[in-house]
């Protein structure tokens, strides 16, 4: 079962900066959908790109950013646990 991360409150690291993303001519938006686990330390592991649009435009930048993020650690009975099958959709849009 996949768990969709719908709030950035779970995120502790900074987001991808706008100047790190290059929009090819004619492309004004896109997204990358990831599936991954969150380690006991809050780091994303086993990262897979499930879908990206437009194909191969934002995937590399998005993947590099996600690898740097740290998520809030989940605790059960006072012990950190691995959070499996998380999904996150990173969206890109040209700001006017």
What digits encode the pLDDT tens for the residues 40-94?
999 999 999 999 999 999 999 899 989 988 888 889 999 999 999 999 999 888 8
Q: How far apart are CA 81 and CA 31, in angstroms?
A: 29
The closest of 51, 57, 67, 2 to 26, measured between CA atoms, is 57
The distance of Cα 3 from the centroid of its chain, to the nearest Å, equals 13
* Prediction pTM value: 0.77
| Contact yes or no for 45/95 (Cβ under 8 A) | no
The secondary structure of residue 18, as a DSSP letter, is G
Class level of CATH domain 3-13+29-88: alpha beta
Give the Cα separation of 87 and 84 in Å (integer): 9
Q: Indicate the domain borders of the chain.
A: 3-13+29-88
């Amino acid at each position: 079962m996949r768990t969709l991360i719908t709030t950035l409150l779970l995120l502790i690291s900074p987001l991808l900066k706008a100047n790190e993303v290059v929009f090819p001519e004619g492309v004004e938006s896109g997204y990358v959908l990831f599936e991954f686990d969150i380690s006991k330390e809050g780091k994303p592991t086993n990262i897979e790109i499930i879908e990206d649009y437009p194909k191969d435009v934002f995937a590399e930048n998005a993947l590099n950013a996600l690898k740097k993020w740290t998520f809030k650690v989940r605790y059960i009975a006072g012990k950190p646990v691995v959070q499996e099958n998380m999904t996150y959709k990173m969206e890109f849009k040209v700001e006017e």
